[in-house]
């Protein structure tokens, strides 16, 4: 059993918001994750779980402090897990030089270039190791899990679902980086973590993965603010993903929220809809 160490615990809406650390074998460093255990939770009661993936510069704290999600997790009886967005303090050259690469910017890919390949394997961490840590230590309902995220984490949620058909009951994203092979953030990150082979990049791009998706029926829920500064800078490109879904026959929900931006004010305004959406898939 992977040993986890409790860092903090705060009662919230009848449940407990906790943060733990553990030594990650996948990332070869200490990692932290937040977990909300709703009031329905006990060692005998198996509950569904939702994984949340945060965006650039964020860690395990942003969502739990700013989204107001505990109220809805308590209402539906859902465990919510929020990992950090990258390895930390692994002493790689340049890891802290930019907000959009390195620390706080793991992009949920498995790096294959040096020196990043040793530590930056966030995809395998989120979809394999962290799931095992949660299953062993908190005993959620086996296989009853969903995933969502924001911005870089929205990209992460989409590729986790698309690359693992059937693993998640549902997927949604706030302002995801929808077509990273075609935007500056993605081009920078993929060059750094994956090298110059752009065919390989397509394996980590939701728009490209949708076009090749062969798994069980899947619906994608995308929430986007119309006044999002990064939408206007062509970092997000949600229409490319919507067009790919339409062409591939994959069901989608796309909601553009008038005058909302990229911030947690946007997320907090509509997170209740995302919990209702996921609960519909997780709770019979």
Cis amide leading into 169 (omega within 30)? no
5-282 CATH: 3.40.50.1820
> Residues of the chain with pLDDT > 70: what percent?
100
What phi and psi, each to the nearest 5 degrees, are found at residue 69?
-75, -25
pLDDT tens-digit series, residues 14-42: 999 999 999 999 999 999 999 999 999 99
Q: Is 228 among the residues known to form the active site?
A: yes
Nearest to 79 by CA among 11, 132, 140: 140
Token pair listed for 2? 């992977």
Among the listed residues 151, 170, 172, 178, the single catalytic one is 151
pLDDT level of residue 182 (50, 70, 90 thresholds) = very high
Mean pLDDT, residues 53-79 taken together: 98
The predicted pLDDT at position 110 comes to: 98
pLDDT tens-digit series, residues 111-145: 999 999 999 999 999 999 999 999 999 999 999 99
Whether residue 12 is predicted with pLDDT greater than 80 in this model: the reply is: yes
Rounded to two decimals, the pTM is: 0.98
Nearest to 62 by CA among 135, 153, 124: 153
The predicted pLDDT at position 43 comes to: 84
Whether residue 107 is predicted with pLDDT greater than 70 in this model: the reply is: yes
Mean model confidence pLDDT for the chain: 97
The domain segmentation of the chain, as residue ranges, is 5-282
Helix (H) / strand (E) element for 240: namely: helix 238-248
Among the listed residues 54, 228, 274, 278, the single catalytic one is 228
Among the listed residues 119, 150, 155, 262, the single catalytic one is 262
> Residues of the chain with pLDDT > 90: what percent?
98
Q: How far apart are CA 268 and CA 262, in angstroms?
A: 11
- 171 to each of 18, 91, 157, 164, 166, how far by Cα in Å? 24, 34, 7, 12, 11
Whether residue 284 is predicted with pLDDT greater than 90 in this model: the reply is: no
More confident position, 1 or 71: 71
pLDDT level of residue 2 (50, 70, 90 thresholds) = confident
pLDDT tens-digit series, residues 230-283: 999 999 999 999 999 999 999 999 999 999 999 999 999 999 999 999 999 999
Nearest to 171 by CA among 251, 72, 89: 251
CA 228 to chain centre: 19
The predicted pLDDT at position 1 comes to: 67
Q: Is 272 among the residues known to form the active site?
A: no
Q: Is 110 among the residues known to form the active site?
A: no
């Amino acid at each position: 059993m992977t040993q986890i160490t409790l860092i903090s615990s705060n009662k919230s809406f009848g449940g407990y918001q906790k943060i733990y650390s553990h030594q990650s074998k996948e990332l070869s460093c200490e990692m932290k994750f937040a977990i909300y255990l709703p009031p329905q939770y006990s060692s005998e009661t198996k509950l569904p779980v939702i994984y949340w993936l945060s965006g650039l510069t964020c860690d395990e704290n942003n969502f739990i402090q700013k989204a107001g999600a505990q109220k809805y997790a308590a209402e539906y009886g859902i465990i919510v897990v929020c990992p950090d967005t990258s390895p930390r303090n692994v002493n790689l050259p340049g890891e802290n030089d930019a907000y959009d690469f390195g620390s706080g910017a793991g992009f949920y890919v498995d790096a294959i270039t040096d020196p990043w390949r040793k530590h930056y394997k966030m995809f395998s961490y989120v979809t394999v190791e962290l799931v095992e840590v949660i299953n062993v230590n908190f005993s959620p309902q086996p296989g009853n899990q969903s995933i969502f995220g924001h911005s870089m984490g929205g990209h992460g949620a989409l590729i986790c679902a698309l690359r693992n058909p059937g693993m998640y009951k549902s997927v949604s994203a706030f302002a995801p980086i929808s077509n990273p092979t075609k935007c500056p953030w993605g081009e920078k990150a993929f060059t750094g973590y994956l090298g110059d082979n752009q065919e390989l990049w397509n394996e980590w791009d939701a728009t490209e993965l949708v076009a090749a998706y062969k798994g069980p029926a899947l619906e994608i829920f995308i929430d986007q603010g119309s006044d999002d500064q990064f939408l206007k800078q062509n970092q997000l490109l949600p229409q490319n993903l919507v067009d790919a879904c339409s062409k591939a026959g994959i069901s989608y929900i796309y909601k553009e929220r008038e005058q909302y931006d990229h911030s947690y004010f946007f997320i907090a305004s509509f997170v209740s809809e995302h919990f209702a959406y996921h609960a519909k898939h997780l709770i019979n």
